[in-house]
Amino acid sequence: MQNQLYKIDLRPVISLDGVWDFAFLGDVAADDVKLANILFDDCMNVPGCFDAAPKYAGKRGLAAYRTTARLSHTGHHRLVFEAINHWCQVFVNGQLACEKSGGFTRFNVDFNGQSGTVEIIILVDNRLDNGCSPLHLAYYDWYHYGGICRSVALHYLGDQWIESVQISTYKLEPPTVRVRVAYGNTGHLAESELKFKFRDQILLAEQVILETGQGVIERMIPLEQAALWSPDLPNLHTLQIQLGQDALQTRFGIRHVQIDGEQIKINGKDIRLLGFNRHESHPQFGHALPQSLIMDDIQLLLDLGCNFVRGSHYPQDPRFLDLCDQLGICVWVEATGWQQTAEHLTDSTYMDAQLLNVEEMVWAAINHPSVIMWGALNEGRSDDPQCVAGYTAVLNRIRQLDASRPVTFASNHIPDADLCLHLADVIGINTYPGWYQGEIEDIPQMLDELFARADATGAADKPIIVSEIGAGAVPGWRDQHETRWTEQYQARLLETVIEHLFSTRNRAAGLAIWQFCDMRSSEAVGRILGRPRGFNNKGIVDEYRRPKSGYQIVIK
């Protein structure tokens, strides 16, 4: 994981990935569980989704995971969880160290440990409980798999440590970056050495004073010889940062994303974004995709001619973002959530969870040059006056955290009925002409009308991305009628959309077809009755990544 805290020189880090002890406890409340009474009668892979594994497939309830690790130091340690879906309590040597709600994002659990063996027990809940996990709800159009679904690592931090590093582009000419090192210090006010190393050269070495508690040190660093990052030439660089006894390295790219009227520009050059919405889902692995499958997804996306992915509808695995950095795929990273209503956006528990989620999203992905925009609130009720304050709070929070990237949301409302378009830098339009409304022949006229209505309102003079459009095709289903659900219908619909958006009209700055791969949908009866096989079948490849007929059309 190039962009994480793993490839470091001095900080001792142990990966805790592997086989953990496991017990499925079922429909019990975490408060009623006595750790000492748990019978760990099974084992489970970490990372993994227990409810995708054959024995526990489809089960919802509380599960317990246990492992031990050897601490070589006494003192301040940190467990780094890349994601646990979607509620958990973490116990270190029997003591509750953290309770966390919400999956798909990294979080840390700090503890003081004695050198020797430490025992870690995690209670993981995958139930769809509004109170426990406000952002994981039963009505969504995806299956919420549960488990320790991304990697776990154990760091020794000591008394003074690097909390995080953010590297952002300050200017392109000469290439200059702003490096923001946040630190922690549990000791007294202290002097320490700060060093930046780039390509075996020491760029900075100075004594700094560390306040007690937390602090931030910021420096502008010119990197005269450093090549810029772009989708065509995805040049990446690595900076090593040392603060006292702690050190880590961070990978980054130098590039500017700008909005210029209807255009999105990277390093001053117009870019047309062509790609897919991507869920991280697989029938055997749930959300815990193995590295080789993530690589397959990237290869398929590149083969399809994509330079763009919308990470629907939650922050994507950092290993996916690493590959996008490396291979030049631009990403719309999106916060967790789906079709929020006034009931959600005026509820303080929900809003707290949503705001925490956007913070975690930005914090985890900020150094990835491939991330060119932030999104949130997919298909929420942005047409409802009661939701405007919620939209304003979420989008503004993202801007406060990172002013260098455009902010967007995907709207499924007629643009002139949408009350929040003025809050977005890029307009995302989700629309299903020829699928939920009208026929394939109606698509050109329906798209033209949407654009005209967008241009006549708050969207005028802003880039528009068609952030969802597509048709369901049951894999392998072909017949002479070529009607809905056949692969032929999907292929014809996508051909019409692409032709109209980019040959006939030229208003869209981007297209994210719905969707890359088929994925299991929610188990709610109302949803599943409209989802043959229980899957959302609008993938261009099926859930095992086997191409459908439309694949060849998109490539052309």
DSSP of 262-293, one letter per residue?
Answer: TEEEETTEEE-EEEEEE---BTTTBT---HHH
What lies within 8 Å, CB to CB, of 439 at 6+ separation is none
Q: How far is the CB of 538 from ligand ADA (least distance, A)?
A: 5
The rounded distance, in Å, linking the Cα atoms of 382 and 384 is 5
**Which SS3 state, helix, strand or coil, does residue 512 take?**
strand
CB of residue 142 to ligand ADA, shortest distance in Å? 7
Site string for ligand ADA, 356-395 (x = CB under 6 A): ----------------------xx----------------
Please state the closest distance from residue 534 (CB atom) to ligand ADA, in A: 13
Instruction: Among 51, 82, 418, 468, indicate the residue that binds ligand ADA (CB under 6 A).
Output: 468
Could you give the CA distance from residue 161 to residue 214 in angstroms, rounded to a whole number?
Answer: 10
- CB count within 10 Å of CB 21 equals 17
Give the residue with the Cβ less far from ligand ADA, 241 or 361.
361
536 in contact with ligand ADA (CB under 6 A)? yes
- Which one, 250 or 412, has the nearer CB to ligand ADA? 412
Q: Using omega within 30 degrees of 0 as the cis cutoff, is the peptide bond preceding 86 cis? A: yes
Helix (H) or strand (E) holding 393: helix 388-401
Size of interface with ligand ADA, in residues (CB under 6 A): 11
CA distance 256 to 286: 35
Q: Least Å distance between CB 334 and ligand ADA? A: 10
Block residue for tokens 């499924």? 412
CB of 463 to ligand ADA, least distance (A): 20
- Nearest approach in angstroms of CB 149 to ligand ADA is 19
Nearer to ligand ADA, 141 or 418 (CB): 141
- Say if residues 221 and 196 touch (Cβ distance below 8 Å): yes
What residues between 137 and 156 interact with ligand ADA by CB under 6 A? 141
Span 243-282, contacts to ligand ADA by CB under 6 A: none
Nearer to ligand ADA, 155 or 313 (CB): 313
| Length of the chain in terms of residues written | 556
Q: Shortest distance, CB of residue 292 to ligand ADA, whole angstroms? A: 26
- Residues from 422 through 451 that contact ligand ADA (CB under 6 A): 430
Per DSSP, the three-state class of 429 is strand
Q: Which is nearer to ligand ADA, 295 or 524 (CB)?
A: 524
Element housing 396 (H / E) = helix 388-401
Site residues (CB under 6 A) for ligand ADA, limited to 2-61? none
Instruction: Answer for the pair 535, 298: CB distance below 8 angstroms, yes or no.
Output: no
Dihedral of the alpha carbons of 230, 231, 232, 236, in degrees to the nearest 10 = 50
Q: How far apart are CA 444 and CA 496, in angstroms?
A: 8
* Residue closer to ligand ADA, measured from CB, 144 or 368: 144
Task: Tell me the residue type at 374.
Answer: W
We find the least distance from the C-beta atom of residue 469 to ligand ADA, in angstroms, to be: 9
Figure out which of the listed residues 405, 462, 538, 548 binds ligand ADA, where binding follows CB under 6 A: 538
Give min distance, CB of 313 to ligand ADA, in A. 6
Q: Can you read off the two tokens belonging to residue 300?
A: 């398929």
Of 100 and 538, nearer to ligand ADA (C-beta) is 538
Residues 297 to 326 in contact with ligand ADA, rule: CB under 6 A: 312-313
Q: 3-state SS of the chain: helix, strand, coil percent to 5?
A: 25, 35, 40
**Residue ranges that bind ligand ADA, judged by CB under 6 A:** 141, 312-313, 378-379, 412, 430, 468, 514, 536, 538
